[in-house]
Chain A
Amino acid sequence: EADIYQTPRYLVIGTGKKITLECSQTMGHDKMYWYQQDPGMELHLIHYSYGVNSTEKGDLSSESTVSRIRTEHFPLTLESARPSHTSQYLCASRETGGEDGYTFGSGTRLTVV
Chain B
Amino acid sequence: AQSVTQLDSHVSVSEGTPVLLRCNYSSSYSPSLFWYVQHPNKGLQLLLKYTSAATLVKGINGFEAEFKKSETSFHLTKPSAHMSDAAEYFCVVPMGRALTFGSGTRLQVQP
* A interface with B by C-beta (< 8 Å): 2, 4, 33, 35, 40-45, 48, 56, 58-59, 90, 92, 99-100, 102-107
Contact = CB atoms under 8 A, between A and B. Distances in A.
Contacts of B49: 99-100
A90 B44 contact: yes
A70 B90 CA distance: 31
Contact of A99 (B41, B88, B94): B94
Given A48-B97, A100-B34, A105 B43 contact: yes
19 contacts: A4-B43, A35-B101, A40-B103, A41-B88, A41-B106, A42-B101, A48-B97, A59-B100, A92-B44, A99-B51, A100-B49, A102-B44, A102-B46, A102-B99, A104-B43, A105-B43, A106-B41, A106-B42, A107-B43
Interface of B: 32, 34, 41-46, 49, 51, 88, 90, 94, 97-101, 103-104, 106
Contacts, number: 51
Nearest to B45: A104
Residue of B49, B98, B99, B104 most packed against chain A (CB within 10 A):
B98
